[in-house]
């Protein structure tokens, strides 16, 4: 029998998903001729700036069930995918290439060098060593399905080239030239919306408190169904920190619909209950009745935040614990456990932001990442309507979907 000619496969987008797809494909089928296209003059630009330049590669969580809960969009599809490729596989993959990762107390994992260049150097070395045709500075304008089932790619300022299979790893489809080609082949695209942003809040309670944080807050909008918890940071513009970023991710579409002007609520002491705070108030009344409330902050609440909440509750600076009326006590407790704030806009988090939206998940077979409508057309990474909260989950989604796509394309 004649040997089959090796397949020509194009991967469009030289970011995390593009590289991992290409490297997986080469590992699984070294004969494949792979062209990796990148429209910019640099590879892996987001990896470079990610995690404040340290690259939060993945998360210290090895249970697919738990891991999938970190994805406001795509949890169900990723849960099954994580059984095939998850953070432990990624740690091992890097370790086989002499790159050690470390985890921080909150589970985020970084290269021990604390330098994203370590990850870039690893990918570049691997790609150059495996004869992947690296074509940077080549943007793909559009692509067509040819009658024979292959794809022709129109390369910007250049000719059209034909490939047996195609994987789209373009990242966010915002303003992408390829949106039209994707839709023309029957796929739908979920509208794009920013995720992971801080809330702008102009509120006298927060004046001069920028830089203050609490370790365990709860935040929610509308109803407690949306509640998210974690550290909360007061910024010059309003509020940020993990609790706020998580809420922004889970409610990304809702908040976009509200034009980023919305009411939300904060519990500054998530580890306490209204009852336990009341008990503490009673104890203070008994044991330090002569002390002023303003000068005796509740445990764990930063002093200046406490003072601000006391003042906002209209409790005078001279009022002592013994003098605290039941009404004012309740006002202050409400301020602590369910303070009402108004957001007037958003600020993108500089360390990490993602776009939700992209190619509809229902159009993709998540066992292979192949289109359900067009054979040999694959998708991986952020171009799909998948996104995670902060903590390394977005890169993990890129590694996992890239792994599945690369493995499946090796069988073509
Ligand atoms: C500032 C910042 C920090 C972040 N930090 C983290 C972090 O620490 N941990 C984490 O998990 N996530 C982080 N994220 C999110 C993470 O970077 C993305 O989820 C991830 O990069 C997605 O990978 P991707 O390969 O799908 O897309 P991208 O990394 O966006 O790569 C897509 C590539 O395709 C190219 N491209 C697009 N269209 C074309 C075309 N038509 N032709 C050719 N090339 C094209 C683009 O130029 C780009 O290089 C961060 C994001 C930002 C913005």
Residue 209 alpha carbon to ligand 1 centre in Å:
34
Residue 252 in contact with residue 259, Cβ under 8 Å? no
Residue 142, strand partner residues: 154
For the Cβ of 165 lying below 6 angstroms from any atom of ligand 1, the answer is: no
Question: Can you tell me the distance from the alpha carbon of 238 to that of 85, in angstroms, rounded to the nearest whole number?
Answer: 38
Question: Can you tell me the distance from the alpha carbon of 277 to that of 285, in angstroms, rounded to the nearest whole number?
Answer: 12
Q: How is residue 399 written in tokens?
A: 């590694």
Structure confidence at residue 355 (pLDDT) = 85
In this structure, the strands spanning 261-267 and 238-240 are unpaired
Tell me which residue of 317, 299, 409, 300 sits closest to 365, measured CA to CA. 409
For the Cβ of 406 lying below 6 angstroms from any atom of ligand 1, the answer is: no
Question: Can you tell me the distance from the alpha carbon of 106 to that of 216, in angstroms, rounded to the nearest whole number?
Answer: 13
Residue 223 in contact with residue 363, Cβ under 8 Å? no
List, as one string, the DSSP characters of 158-193.
S-EEEESEEEE-----TT-TTHHHHHHTT--EEEEE
* Three-class DSSP category at 125: helix
| Over residues 15-28, mean pLDDT | 98
Tell me which residue of 291, 245, 283 sits closest to 388, measured CA to CA. 245
Structure confidence at residue 352 (pLDDT) = 65
CB atoms within 10 A of CB 226: 17
Residue 212 alpha carbon to ligand 1 centre in Å:
31
Residue at 75 is within a domain: yes
Residue 16 alpha carbon to ligand 1 centre in Å:
7
Residue 266, strand partner residues: 219, 339
pLDDT one-digit tens code per residue, 25-83: 999 999 999 999 999 999 999 999 999 999 999 999 999 999 999 999 999 999 999 99
Structure confidence at residue 176 (pLDDT) = 85
Question: Can you tell me the distance from the alpha carbon of 317 to that of 393, in angstroms, rounded to the nearest whole number?
Answer: 46
Q: Is 236 exposed, middle or buried (0-12, 13-18, 19+ CB in 10 A)?
A: exposed
Question: Can you tell me the distance from the alpha carbon of 361 to that of 364, in angstroms, rounded to the nearest whole number?
Answer: 5
For the Cβ of 392 lying below 6 angstroms from any atom of ligand 1, the answer is: yes
Question: Can you tell me the distance from the alpha carbon of 289 to that of 379, in angstroms, rounded to the nearest whole number?
Answer: 66
Q: What is the pTM of this model?
A: 0.93
* Three-class DSSP category at 338: helix
- 271 and 219 within one domain: yes
Residue at 114 is within a domain: yes
In this structure, the strands spanning 238-240 and 197-200 are antiparallel
Structure confidence at residue 175 (pLDDT) = 82
What CATH number is associated with residue 108?
Answer: 3.50.50.60
- 294 and 205 within one domain: yes
Residue 374 alpha carbon to ligand 1 centre in Å:
25
Atom index in ligand 1 nearest the CA of residue 19 equals: 25
Domain boundary among 348, 367, 385: 348
Residue 390 alpha carbon to ligand 1 centre in Å:
14
Is the pLDDT at 222 greater than 70? The verdict is yes
Q: How is residue 3 written in tokens?
A: 């040997």
pLDDT one-digit tens code per residue, 73-124: 999 999 999 999 999 999 999 999 999 999 999 999 999 999 999 999 999 9
E-state strands within 75-180: 101-103, 108-111, 133-136, 140-145, 151-155, 160-163, 165-168
Which residues form the domain of 344? 197-348
Band (pLDDT 50/70/90 cuts) for residue 307 is: very high
For the Cβ of 382 lying below 6 angstroms from any atom of ligand 1, the answer is: yes
Best mutation site among 14, 15, 106 for ligand 1, i.e. most ligand atoms within 8 A of its Cβ? 15
Residue at 293 is within a domain: yes
Range with lowest mean pLDDT among 4-13, 392-401, 403-412: 4-13
Residue 215 alpha carbon to ligand 1 centre in Å:
30
- 237 and 141 within one domain: no
Domain boundary among 308, 327, 348: 348
- 399 and 341 within one domain: no
Atom index in ligand 1 nearest the CA of residue 141 equals: 41
Residue 216 alpha carbon to ligand 1 centre in Å:
30
Number of residues that make up the chain: 412
- 341 and 206 within one domain: yes
Q: How is residue 185 written in tokens?
A: 């082949």
- 336 and 290 within one domain: yes
Residue at 3 is within a domain: no
Residue at 72 is within a domain: yes
- 242 and 336 within one domain: yes
Residue at 2 is within a domain: no
Question: Can you tell me the distance from the alpha carbon of 164 to that of 399, in angstroms, rounded to the nearest whole number?
Answer: 23
- 202 and 189 within one domain: no
Is the pLDDT at 2 greater than 70? The verdict is no
Range with lowest mean pLDDT among 1-10, 153-162, 224-233, 338-347: 1-10
Domain count, the chain: 2
- 205 and 164 within one domain: no
- 19 and 151 within one domain: yes
For the Cβ of 49 lying below 6 angstroms from any atom of ligand 1, the answer is: yes
- 219 and 173 within one domain: no
Residue 74 alpha carbon to ligand 1 centre in Å:
17
pLDDT one-digit tens code per residue, 377-398: 999 999 999 999 999 999 999 9
For the Cβ of 391 lying below 6 angstroms from any atom of ligand 1, the answer is: no
Best mutation site among 115, 171, 355, 390 for ligand 1, i.e. most ligand atoms within 8 A of its Cβ? 171
- 287 and 217 within one domain: yes
pLDDT one-digit tens code per residue, 226-270: 999 999 999 999 999 999 999 999 999 999 999 999 999 999 999
Residue at 243 is within a domain: yes
Which helix or strand (DSSP H or E) is residue 17 part of? helix 16-28
Domain boundary among 298, 329, 348: 348
In this structure, the strands spanning 33-38 and 8-12 are parallel
Residue at 382 is within a domain: yes
């Amino acid at each position: 029998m004649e040997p089959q000619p090796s397949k020509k496969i194009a991967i469009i987008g030289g970011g995390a998903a593009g590289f991992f797809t290409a490297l997986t494909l080469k590992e699984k089928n070294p004969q494949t001729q792979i062209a990796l296209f990148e429209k910019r003059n640099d590879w892996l630009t987001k990896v470079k700036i990610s995690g404040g330049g340290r690259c939060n590669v993945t998360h210290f969580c090895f249970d697919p069930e738990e891991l999938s809960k970190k994805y406001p969009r795509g949890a169900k599809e990723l849960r099954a995918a994580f059984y095939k490729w998850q953070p432990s596989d990624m740690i091992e993959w890097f370790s086989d290439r002499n790159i050690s990762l470390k985890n921080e107390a909150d589970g985020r994992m970084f290269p021990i060098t604390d330098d994203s260049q370590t990850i870039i150097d690893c990918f570049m070395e691997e790609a150059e060593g495996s004869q992947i045709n690296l074509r940077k500075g080549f943007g793909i304008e559009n692509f067509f399905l040819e009658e024979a089932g292959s794809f022709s790619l129109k390369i910007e300022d250049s000719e059209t080239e034909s490939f047996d299979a195609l994987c789209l790893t373009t990242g966010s489809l915002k303003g992408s030239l390829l949106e039209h080609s994707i839709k023309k082949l029957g796929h739908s695209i979920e509208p794009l919306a920013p995720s992971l942003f801080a809330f702008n809040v102009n509120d006298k309670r927060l004046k001069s408190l920028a830089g203050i944080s609490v370790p365990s807050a709860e935040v929610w909008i509308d109803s407690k169904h949306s509640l998210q918890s974690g550290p909360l940071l007061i910024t010059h513009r309003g509020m940020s920190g993990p609790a706020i970023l998580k809420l922004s991710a889970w409610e990304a579409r809702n908040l976009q619909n509200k034009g980023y002007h919305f009411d939300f609520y904060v519990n500054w002491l998530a580890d306490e209950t209204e009852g336990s705070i009341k008990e503490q108030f009673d104890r203070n009344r008994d044991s330090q009745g002569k002390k002023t409330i303003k000068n005796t902050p509740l445990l764990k609440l930063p002093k200046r935040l406490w003072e601000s909440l006391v003042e906002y509750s209209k409790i005078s600076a001279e009022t002592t614990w013994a003098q605290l009326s039941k009404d004012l006590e309740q006002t202050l407790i409400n301020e602590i456990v369910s303070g009402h704030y108004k957001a007037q806009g958003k600020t993108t988090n500089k360390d990490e932001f993602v776009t939700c939206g992209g190619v509809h998940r229902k159009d993709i077979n998540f066992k292979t990442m192949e289109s359900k409508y067009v054979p040999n057309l694959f998708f991986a990474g952020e171009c799909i309507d998948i996104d995670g909260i902060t903590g390394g989950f977005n890169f993990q989604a890129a590694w996992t979907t890239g792994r599945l796509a690369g493995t499946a394309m090796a069988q073509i």
